[in-house]
A and B are shown apart, each in its own frame.
Chain A
């Protein structure tokens, strides 16, 4: 019947056999829940069993829910930290490691990347002990370095939760993002660099006119990845603060609030509504970014 286009005739059916496992799993565990999340978002539930239709109530409730706004603010602070502290540091590190005459590049690359191997949960456990008062490594080191000026009782996990989270994320992700930038720097034309050196172009000028254009595609990919990951921050504060938002919800993130609403309060409807707000935010940001990239390419 169907004249095979492309490779061979019988492959028509074969293609669907190869696709079937993916299609099946995706239909059941992604497409169906996706539809269901829209249904749930207009319902109130008590656990997975009982539910009532509430229309847009979840969304109007959310707009007047101070805890949600706290969670959103914290999440945005963390994301800004990722974009404006973590990524520039990652790029700087990549540039430093990319200089051809540097000794020990391989070992540096391995060391800076290594924290990424520890899962977020395990990092959180370690960090919880490191940022403790008295016995924690961070306060003890700062105490020793400053000759006793730094208090051993500095309350990282009590009053400076967001700063602590951002510091931990630096340790964990700077090396990871550095790997991407290093890969991107392989695209930089070495002859262009040499030419600009001969022309006496300054470091900054070279950075702007040679390096930046070459790493732009990977750069926007890393920005997107980092934004998506940061806005969905969950494990790190959840384990660090033992399932709570910390004192005065200082470390509560949007996904943590989604988890609390859905699985501690038992309202999967409100949780889904929070999920949709986050999804719209994420997809909106992705579209804006694509639009910017397109415009710059023209």
Chain B
């Protein structure tokens, strides 16, 4: 029992003090977390001379003592004149193709492992589980050699095919389907004369829609942010995605900070937007493998 001698008002006061400290600490940390984003965005709007003149906004006559009229979109114009738009479209294409293919491949095999009793199921499941812990770095050198020998170096297929069947995805979908899809429903669909493919598309996938959404997002993000694969597989300039193009841009325009900042903003904006729209699904997908332990 708590000691009844402490008056309730005193207890509330200490509680309030604690809560305020906590709020202050969290707010400070939140500001520190956000400052780099603000710096990035503002710097992308500054001309070269202003970049060195002020940490954030350039001083001036405008409201808040800020020289609003000194902000410019020149960095963005120059960026797209440099052909950055091409890299942007490449990224959109690679990431969405990988997301759709990866989701189909992983959900189909997750379905097979969750709902069918077939010879070889046990070994297949063990293979999937051991592939999850296989470090991808082990495959960098021999993967490159393979692509060289089968003529897929510097092709889109060589970039995308190797990453459309991640074992952890198969595992996630197997868990989701085991949980969310009742056997009776599949049986009933079969009685009604649905083909196996129809059952997969019109019964199974709709029932695991949250997992599908989360996985689409996770694999889109993974490909969007992937650097090492395109860096190794692709050589042609016009095939490079944002991740490689931006690193090259830095090699060329080492001191053009505004331009590099604008490139960074363009690279992260679509992903940030997508996330803000879908954050619930994303976070639930991220932790779905972990919560049940």
Contact = CB atoms under 8 A, between A and B. Distances in A.
Given A18-B109, A114-B37, A171-B33, A234 B228 contact: yes
A32 B146 contact: yes
Interface in B262-291: 263-264, 267-268, 271-272, 275, 279, 283, 286-287, 289-291
Given A96-B26, A129-B257, A29 B109 contact: no
Contact of A263 (B22, B144, B196, B251): B144
A22 B165 contact: yes
Q: Which of A18, A135, A268, A276 has its CB near the most chain B CB atoms (within 10 A)?
A: A18
Contacts of A78: none
Nearest to A197: B2
B134 A114 contact: no
A246 interface: no
A108 B162 CA distance: 37
B143 A21 contact: no
Contacts of A6: 115-117
Interface string B125-143: 0010001011111111111
A235 B228 contact: yes
Given A218-B293, A221-B293, A262-B144, A117 B272 contact: yes
A67 interface: no
A197 B142 CA distance: 58
For chain A, which range describes its interface: under 10, 10 to 19, 20 to 34, or 35 or more residues? Answer: 35 or more
A19 B165 contact: no
B183 A34 contact: no
A50 B1 CA distance: 78
Contacts of B112: 14-16, 18-19
Contacts of A104: 23, 26
A7 interface: yes
Contacts of A137: 35-36, 39, 55
Interface in A24-71: 25-26, 28-30, 32-34, 36-37, 40, 48-49
B183 A29 contact: no
Contacts of B260: 125, 129
Contacts of A120: 225, 227
Interface residues of B, number: 95
B149 A48 contact: yes
Interface in B26-47: 26, 29-30, 33-37, 39-40, 43
B128 to A, nearest CB: 8
B134 A10 contact: no
Contact of B162 (A2, A25, A129): A25
Contact of B225 (A11, A122, A187, A232): A122
B238 to A, nearest CB: 19
B79 interface: no
B93 interface: no
Given A15-B116, A34-B142, A117-B275, 7 more contacts: A7-B116, A15-B118, A21-B164, A29-B146, A111-B33, A276-B138, A278-B135
Interface of A: 2, 4-8, 10-12, 14-19, 21-23, 25-26, 28-30, 32-34, 36-37, 40, 48-49, 93, 96-97, 99, 101-104, 107-108, 110-115, 117-122, 125-126, 128-130, 134-135, 137, 140-141, 144, 171, 175, 179-180, 183-184, 186-187, 197-198, 200, 217-218, 221-222, 228, 232, 234-235, 238-239, 242, 255, 258-259, 262-263, 268-269, 271-272, 275-276, 278-279, 282-283, 286
9 contacts: A25-B161, A117-B268, A117-B275, A125-B263, A180-B290, A184-B293, A228-B133, A232-B136, A279-B135
